[in-house]
């Protein structure tokens, strides 16, 4: 077994891990990145469409281009070691944490580090998560798997597809499937509004005349060896209208029905998880319930834009650096989700400094308002032109609005949408 000691271990070499590793290394600390795949870049490698980097680089990049900028920046730093095709198996937390990694080539390696950054990203919800009745033929894929098959491996997963769920990956795949010669019969969405960005409805569905059935669901999958069709059922006021069902004749079903932070490893070593996000509970420095263990990117909460993942991960890295210097600020106050808010990240804030928050709405509303209260007293309002659960909201609070470190006791922030 190979053994080594490093300042920080970053688990996952995708957009979050790369941004964090690069920033930590730039401060002079040694970093080891564990990446399960044979290349860095994570899910960006298969997201060949454009639309990345508009915020960060003010340029319209494809996923691989966005990834390459971060891969190059990590590659330029001598104090980053990247272990490819290496899966983090186990972490045993302590004053110094130990991470066990496994690779087919190198066997088990043991890495001791004072800080760990969880950057494992997320997984797709699949057929089991949503329980679609029917037979169990081949031809049912998650949208991301189909994306990998087409864009990385060069296989076309079928001929006639129905896409369930109107998340961005589903919409992007509707266009991609069409462009590789498949026929996309429909996108079926259970909600009364699309869950992906409007621009993707325009350029991925409308451009190709692909119908979007809102308030509809796939109520059965047919076929023995291969999918032979699906039954689509409309919903009215939450009730399924069986009599109005219709069948679509397809050989492929793509599921774009949500993402779940991939925290199997974190759960195993005792990181406290938030059921609302599926990610770790974190303080204002994105540190989990275990001192020295941080989380950023989609493993913390699912983001809509990679630009936000990079931003959050670099902020996370700045707190890791403070931790490694022994200067980590430990006085944190609680943040809670109020009315119409699914969650707020982080779960704590720091006095005396600017804090940045990300949240998701539970409601769809135009001309909404974000309301922040401090111990029940209103302290900040912000107008939001449009909110919906699929679009993350971010905001900052300035030091002047927050309590002083010198003030005793805890002051609770609550964030609501009205």
Partner 1 sequence: MERKLVCISCPLGCRLTVNWENERNITVSGNRCAKGESYATEEILAPKRVVTATVAVAAGAASATSAAAGRAAAGPAATGQTAAARVFTSGPRRLPVKTNAPLLKEHISELLNTLYRMEVKPPLRCGDVLLKDIAGTGVDLVAARSLKGR
Residues near partner 1 (CB under 8 A) are: 2, 4, 38-41, 48-51, 54, 60, 62-65, 67-68, 71-72, 74-76, 80-86, 101, 103-107, 109, 150-154, 179, 197-199, 201-203, 207, 304-305
CB of 267 to partner 1, least distance (A): 25
Instruction: Give the pair of three-digit tokens for residue 12.
Output: 């996952």
Instruction: Give the pair of three-digit tokens for residue 321.
Output: 């650096």
Tell me the sheet residues that pair with 52: 61
Determine phi and psi for 127, rounding to 5 degrees. -60, -40
Overall residue count recorded for the chain in this entry: 418
Indicate the residue among 256 and 390 with the shorter CB distance to partner 1. Answer: 390
CB of 208 to partner 1, least distance (A): 11
Indicate the residue among 99 and 140 with the shorter CB distance to partner 1. Answer: 99
Indicate the residue among 203 and 373 with the shorter CB distance to partner 1. Answer: 203
Indicate the residue among 54 and 339 with the shorter CB distance to partner 1. Answer: 54
CA 233/CA 179 separation, integer angstroms: 28
Indicate the residue among 207 and 375 with the shorter CB distance to partner 1. Answer: 207
Indicate the residue among 60 and 375 with the shorter CB distance to partner 1. Answer: 60
Indicate the residue among 181 and 326 with the shorter CB distance to partner 1. Answer: 181
Q: Is the dihedral of CA 51, 54, 60, 63 positive or negative?
A: negative
CB of 155 to partner 1, least distance (A): 10
CB of 64 to partner 1, least distance (A): 4
Q: Where are the beta strands (DSSP E) in 268-376?
A: 293-295, 333-337, 341-345, 348-349, 355-361, 365-374
Instruction: Give the pair of three-digit tokens for residue 118.
Output: 């969880």
Instruction: Give the pair of three-digit tokens for residue 287.
Output: 């540190």
CA 353/CA 80 separation, integer angstroms: 30
**If you search the block for the tokens 């938030």, which residue do you land on?**
274
Indicate the residue among 72 and 407 with the shorter CB distance to partner 1. Answer: 72
CB of 189 to partner 1, least distance (A): 17
CB of 343 to partner 1, least distance (A): 21
Contacts with 367 (C-beta within 8 Å, 6 or more apart), sequence order: 383, 384, 385, 386
Indicate the residue among 62 and 373 with the shorter CB distance to partner 1. Answer: 62
Buried b (16+ CB within 10 A) or exposed e, 40-58: bbbbbbbbbbebbbeebee
CA 90/CA 99 separation, integer angstroms: 6
Indicate the residue among 197 and 316 with the shorter CB distance to partner 1. Answer: 197
CB of 153 to partner 1, least distance (A): 6
Q: Is 200 helix (H, G, I), strand (E, B) or coil?
A: helix
CA 255/CA 145 separation, integer angstroms: 9
CB of 172 to partner 1, least distance (A): 10
The H-or-E segment that residue 168 falls in is: helix 168-179
Indicate the residue among 207 and 369 with the shorter CB distance to partner 1. Answer: 207
For Cα atoms 277, 69, 117, give the angle at the middle one, nearest 5 degrees: 35
CB of 179 to partner 1, least distance (A): 6
CB of 41 to partner 1, least distance (A): 7
CB of 141 to partner 1, least distance (A): 18
Asked whether 109 and 285 are in contact (CB, 8 A), the reply is no
By CB atoms closer than 10 A (0-12, 13-18, 19+), residue 417 is buried
The H-or-E segment that residue 415 falls in is: strand 413-417
The H-or-E segment that residue 247 falls in is: strand 246-248
């Amino acid at each position: 077994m190979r053994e080594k000691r490093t300042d920080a271990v970053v688990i996952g070499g995708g957009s979050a891990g790369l941004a964090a590793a690069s920033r930590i290394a730039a401060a002079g600390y040694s970093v080891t990145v564990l990446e399960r795949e044979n290349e860095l870049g994570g899910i960006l490698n298969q997201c060949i469409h454009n639309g990345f980097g508009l915020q960060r680089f003010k340029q319209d990049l494809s996923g691989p281009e966005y990834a390459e900028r971060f891969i190059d920046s990590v590659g330029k730093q001598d104090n980053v070691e990247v272990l490819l095709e290496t899966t983090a198996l186990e972490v045993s937390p302590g004053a110094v944490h130990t991470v066990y990694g496994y690779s087919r080539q190198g066997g088990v390696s043991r890495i001791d580090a004072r800080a760990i950054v969880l950057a494992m990203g997320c997984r797709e919800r699949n057929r089991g998560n949503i329980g679609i009745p029917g037979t169990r033929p081949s031809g049912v894929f998650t949208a991301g798997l189909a994306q990998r098959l087409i864009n990385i491996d060069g296989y076309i997963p079928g001929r006639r597809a129905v896409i369930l769920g109107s998340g961005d990956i589903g919409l992007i795949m509707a266009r991609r499937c069409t462009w590789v010669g498949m026929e996309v019969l429909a996108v079926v969405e259970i909600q009364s509004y699309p869950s992906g960005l409007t621009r993707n409805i325009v350029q991925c569905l409308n451009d190709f005349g692909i119908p979007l059935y809102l308030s509809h669901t796939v109520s059965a999958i047919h076929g023995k060896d291969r999918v032979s069709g699906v039954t689509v059922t409309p919903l009215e006021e939450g009730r399924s209208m069986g009599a109005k069902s219709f069948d679509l004749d397809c050989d492929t079903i793509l599921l774009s029905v949500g993402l779940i932070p991939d925290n199997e490893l974190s759960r195993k070593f005792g990181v406290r998880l938030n059921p609302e996000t599926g990610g770790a509970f974190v303080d204002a420095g994105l540190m989990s319930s275990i001192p020295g263990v941080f989380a950023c990117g989609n493993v913390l909460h699912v983001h809509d834009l990679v630009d936000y993942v990079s931003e959050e991960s670099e902020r996370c890295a700045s707190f890791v650096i403070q931790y490694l210097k022994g200067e980590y600020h430990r006085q944190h106050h609680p943040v809670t989700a109020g009315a119409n808010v699914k969650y707020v990240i982080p779960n704590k804030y720091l006095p005396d400094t600017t804090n940045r928050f990300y949240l998701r709405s539970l409601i769809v509303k135009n001309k909404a308002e974000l309301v922040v209260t401090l111990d029940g007293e209103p302290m900040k309002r912000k107008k939001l032109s449009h909110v919906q659960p699929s679009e993350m909201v971010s905001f900052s609070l300035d030091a002047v609005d927050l309590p002083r470190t010198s003030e005793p006791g805890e002051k609770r922030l609550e964030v609501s949408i009205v």
